Amino acid sequence: MKVIVENHIPYIKSRLEPFAEVLYLPAAEITAEAVRDADALIVRTRTRCDAKLLSGSRCSFVGTATIGTDHIDLAFCRENGITAVNAPGCNAPAVAQYVHSVIARHMQARGITDCHRLTLGIVGVGHVGSIVERWARQLGFKVLLCDPPRARKEGAGAFVPLETIAAEADIITFHTPLTRSGEDATYHMCDEAFIARLSHCSLLINSARGEIADNAALVAALESGKIGNVAIDCWENEPEISRTLLAKAFVATPHIAGYSAEGKQRATAMVLEAMSRHFGWDIAIDHPTLPAEGASMVTQKLIADSYDPLADTAMLRTDPTRFEALRNGYNLRHEVRTPCVCVFGASSAHIDPVFTDAAYRLGALLADAGIECVNGAGREGVMRAVTDGALSRGGAVTGIIPQFMVDNGWCYDRLTDTIVTPDMESRKALMEQRSDCIVAMPGGCGTLEELLQAITRRQLGLYDGEIIIFNVAGYFNPLLAMLESCIEHRFMHASHRALWQVATTAEEVVAMATARHEAPTIESKYQ
């Protein structure tokens, strides 16, 4: 067996070697001669997979570690028994991150602080467009959706025609495939005629396909003031891009909108999974920890802090001839990750309302701050109150619960997401793994055990998040005194006090959870 892999595909080295001879080649060297004795081919968009490349070869599998298939002759593959797969949606969160980062920079440059003043028009509402839409609604934009194929299938109620986007949108972003014929053809859909219909578009973004937008028409629109700003990641005639458009665009990047570490990892994983099915192999596959549907909750600051498109713009402008080099050698960024706080607390229904009231307020404030909550999925007590508070403000709560508790009917049914583990230990490990910070609220033996284990693991360098003791109504005073006694009697070092913080209000908890902290210097108790 022989597999040829385009050499700029990450997260694939050593995965196929147990099953086949693997040859890693630059795109320019993936020729008909090279492919002739190959059984499988894994490429990116720069390799055209058609009769010219594949005729006469023994190749039975073509995988592209990209969302698009414009470079694959799907009809030829079908007719010749070649399985062709792509990675739909693999980089959708990364492209959505790019779009909203551009919008944040645009608003900053225009002195606009209120998203509610702006209408965002999304053309193409598939994997990427759906995330762009969800985040935009969270941020407060008015959103218009244009997707004729979906409108025909689902009904026109949620969608508007392209003419309405042109007439009403302040910001327009394209997320369609490239098609050159048929009623939904997208080639040059953003052309001189479309631009002429624009009413008050201050920003137009193309991070979909280069030929969707007529680049010469964009230049003319910028020169005439018909469009305020343009952000362009996908260009006509790549890598020989328009230098005039490069100079005039607000954001201009070398086709890297989807270039996140997680997106690349997803793409490789999806292709390898398909290859495993095709050949009957059991390939070891790494999956990203961030969800393919994107962050559950975002704020504009969170998005803006996660990526700066102006830095990539500056690099491309410095030397446009390095378009391909900048793209191929791109330092993969990380996608937006919703900050996550794990809340430990009682699941008892028979506690003083002072504790559940504090928990409800904490959940609400976490949601207001754009912070996801993880808890033990309990349907009573502090756990339920935290969940109810977060959900009341549109927040997200993931409950993690062992199977036996589900079997006993202890799981809350209103959670955003529920993860069932086989036992208590795996539950605690997953709660810690998913959290940036741990908050301990009043609870019984289980809560105390979870808190002390977290402190111990932070002391040993096994957990690097903050640990906050939410001392509602002085509940934890005896425990804090016990910890001080440990220090006094030299069972702990005085520096160990830095392992935890103490808050008495929900506002203090959120302030501590969102502040930037340096890792504490912890002395060994043996010194």
pLDDT in tens, 19-45: 999 999 999 999 999 999 999 999 998
pLDDT reported for residue 225: 94
- Report, as residue numbers or ranges, the catalytic residues: 209, 238, 255
Let me know: does 130 contact 123? Beta carbons within 8 Å.
no
Let me know: does 438 contact 432? Beta carbons within 8 Å.
yes
454 forms beta bridges with none
What's the rounded mean pLDDT across residues 333-360? Answer: 93
Assess if residue 193 is contained within a domain. Answer: yes
Judgement on whether residues 41 and 178 belong to the same structural domain of the protein = no
> pLDDT-derived band of residue 244, with 50, 70 and 90 as boundaries?
very high
Q: Where among 252, 274, 297 does a domain terminate?
A: 252
pLDDT reported for residue 517: 64
178 burial level (CB within 10 Å; 0-12, 13-18, 19+):
middle
Task: State pLDDT tens for residues 436-457.
Answer: 999 999 999 999 999 999 999 9
Distance from C-alpha of 275 to C-alpha of 280, rounded to nearest angstrom: 8
Find the domain containing 62 and state its range. 2-86
Task: State pLDDT tens for residues 484-522.
Answer: 999 999 999 999 999 999 999 999 999 999 886 666 677
pLDDT reported for residue 143: 98
Sign of CA dihedral 71, 77, 82, 87: positive
pLDDT reported for residue 472: 97
What's the rounded mean pLDDT across residues 406-427? Answer: 94
Distance from C-alpha of 266 to C-alpha of 271, rounded to nearest angstrom: 9
Give the residue ranges of DSSP H helices in 141-281. 148-154, 162-168, 192-196, 215-224, 243-248, 261-279
513 burial level (CB within 10 Å; 0-12, 13-18, 19+):
buried
Nearest Cα neighbor of 108 from 300, 253, 268, 298 is 300
272 burial level (CB within 10 Å; 0-12, 13-18, 19+):
buried
CATH code, domain carrying 242 = 3.40.50.720
Task: State pLDDT tens for residues 129-152.
Answer: 999 999 999 999 999 999 999 999
Assess if residue 329 is contained within a domain. Answer: no
pLDDT reported for residue 7: 93
- Total number of domains in the chain: 3
Assess if residue 333 is contained within a domain. Answer: no
Task: State pLDDT tens for residues 271-299.
Answer: 999 999 999 999 999 888 788 899 888 88
Judgement on whether residues 368 and 488 belong to the same structural domain of the protein = yes
Q: Where among 222, 252, 282 does a domain terminate?
A: 252
pLDDT at 428 exceeding the cut of 90: yes
CATH code, domain carrying 402 = 3.40.50.450
What's the rounded mean pLDDT across residues 180-186? Answer: 92
Judgement on whether residues 54 and 176 belong to the same structural domain of the protein = no
Assess if residue 62 is contained within a domain. Answer: yes
421 forms beta bridges with 402
Ramachandran class of 473: left when φ > 0, alpha when ψ lies in -120 to 50, beta otherwise: left
Q: Where among 31, 66, 86 does a domain terminate?
A: 86
Instruction: Give the H or E element holding residue 250.
Output: none
> pLDDT-derived band of residue 301, with 50, 70 and 90 as boundaries?
confident
439 forms beta bridges with 343, 468
Task: State pLDDT tens for residues 208-238.
Answer: 999 999 999 999 999 999 999 999 999 999 9
Mean pLDDT of all residues belonging to the chain: 94
Distance from C-alpha of 333 to C-alpha of 114, rounded to nearest angstrom: 27
Distance from C-alpha of 244 to C-alpha of 503, rounded to nearest angstrom: 56
Judgement on whether residues 424 and 361 belong to the same structural domain of the protein = yes
